[in-house]
Structure 1
Amino acid sequence: MLTDLFSPSVQHSLDLAGIFVFAISGGLLAVRKNFDVFGIAVLAEATALGGGIIRDVIIGAVPPAAFTDLGYFLTPLVAAVCVIFLHPQVERINGAVNVFDAAGLGLFCVAGTTKAYAYGLGLTSSVALGLVTAAGGGVLRDILANEVPSLLRWDRDLYAVPAIIGATIVALLIRLEELTVVTGSAAAATAFVLRLLAMHYGWRAPRAYHRRSSATEEQI
């Protein structure tokens, strides 16, 4: 099966690591918004599991893995507890958290694409669900926090583009029947490196040609 790029134990560990880091980012935003402990937990869960749940519902993999594996559900709660009691320390290592977040982006865009294809979707649809898996939780996080999703904001470093590129590479590898542990890992690494470069150099997507809006970045 295409989703078996890694052994089950390795895949599960990688999933939990990505879920934990995504949950940290959700919890930190909740603290900045002055949410209570329940709100912190909700944002952590939504950020970590939202993309995978949306993907699984669309492809018919129900109930979603987030509801059948207790580890998937509990890991964001552990991250939320860490944020509740240690958020000043977590904020100080936010740069490291962003690096792991980029790693989760690379892993999930590959895992989402391969799982969607394994459930019978075409390559283009599989790429779209690879993006949903990687970035859907972040969109839910921002909506719940009453913010314009970072995915849609020009004044944010590239996030969707690295995920799309990683997912597209996976689709091409499937098309060429060259998807293996090595090539799948290379696709995840490509998305990871592109995200790191975007953060380091401040890469952003272009806006509309001859844009006439007078809104500033702070007003958007």
Structure 2
Amino acid sequence: MELIHILDIAGTFAFAVSGAFRAVKYEMDILGIAVLAMATGVGGGMIRDLLLGATPPVALTDTSYILICLAGAAAVFFAAPKIARRWDVLMAADAVGLSVFAAIGATKAEAYGAVPLTVAMMAMITACGGGVIRDLLSREIPAILTTGFYASAALLGGFMFVLLGQFQCSEGLRIFITISFTLITRIVALRFKLNLPRVKALHASPSEIARAHRENGRK
């Protein structure tokens, strides 16, 4: 599990950096950068722990997570242009973080006796919850709801973890396969720009459309 912890720390740093860049986009001060970095880096794990009743959340008892987030914030504050030029590397690290967080979320949920559907949902929440908090704090529609095969990859990874449990696989093997499956799914989605189906915007609100339909029916 030492490797998982290392990947967890790396994923936390990558998420923190992505949160800090969102703060830079809106020209926030150093406090704003730190807040968004921490929210993105540990927000998903904290939501998961609170929902599972695993209190206090691990991010509040292991200071290394907060320090990693602050390190990511400092890196962006002092070297944003240099980091931006290697955004492709950061996206790769982000994909790894997503995959590891999904596996960790599923593992912890199962350890707390969650049902299979909840296990998969905790995988998604752990991987994506921080990004949702980041977007809400910056007054944006959460990116996971509009772009990319992101939350979907984490959710599918959670279901993969559950499925492997039906075959009596060891926990270590289940974690490894879940990480690999989620990572491959995310990379393929990035490579081929995959998205879930969308509904095209209506030309008017549903109430206006219904009213126009009733009026046309009377004619």
**How does the TM-score come out when normalised to structure 2?**
0.89
Distance of aligned partners of 1:212 and 1:71 in 2 relative to their CA distance in 1, 3 Å threshold: closer
1:160 is aligned with what amino acid?
A: A
Shift in Å, 1:176: 2.6
**Quick one: which of 61, 69, 78 aligns to 1:76?**
69
2:51 is aligned with what amino acid?
A: I
Q: How does 1:49-198 map to 2 (within 5 A)?
A: 49-153=42-146, 156-198=147-189
Number of matched pairs: 204
2:182 is aligned with what amino acid?
A: A
**Quick one: which of 172, 197, 200 aligns to 2:191?**
200
Let me know the Cα RMSD of the aligned residues.
Answer: 1.4
- Cα distance between partner residues in 2 of 1:179 and 1:125: 20
Question: Which structure 2 residue ranges, 5 or more long, are not aligned?
Answer: 205-219
Question: Which structure 1 residue ranges, 5 or more long, are not aligned?
Answer: 1-5, 216-220
- Cα distance between partner residues in 1 of 2:81 and 2:197: 34
* Secondary structure class of the residue paired with 2:120: helix
Give the equivalent residue in structure 2 for 1:3. none
- Cα distance between partner residues in 1 of 2:36 and 2:115: 32
Structure 1 segments (4+ residues) deviating >6 Å: none
- Cα distance between partner residues in 2 of 1:212 and 1:100: 34
Greater Cα offset, 24-33 or 182-191: 182-191
CA contact (8 A) 2:7 2:96 kept: no
Question: Radius of gyration: which is bigger?
Answer: 2
CA contact (8 A) 1:170 1:179 kept: no
Give the equivalent residue in structure 1 for 2:208. none
**How does the TM-score come out when normalised to structure 1?**
0.89
Shift in Å, 1:108: 0.7
Shift in Å, 1:180: 3.4
Shift in Å, 1:212: 5.1
Can you list the C-alpha shifts for 1:97-123, whole angstroms capped at 9, x where unaligned?
Answer: 011101111111111011011011111
Shift in Å, 1:214: 4.6
CA contact (8 A) 2:101 2:127 kept: yes
- Cα distance between partner residues in 1 of 2:114 and 2:178: 20
* Secondary structure class of the residue paired with 2:27: coil
Shift in Å, 1:10: 2.8
CA contact (8 A) 2:4 2:100 kept: no
- Cα distance between partner residues in 1 of 2:107 and 2:168: 12
2:5 is aligned with what amino acid?
A: H
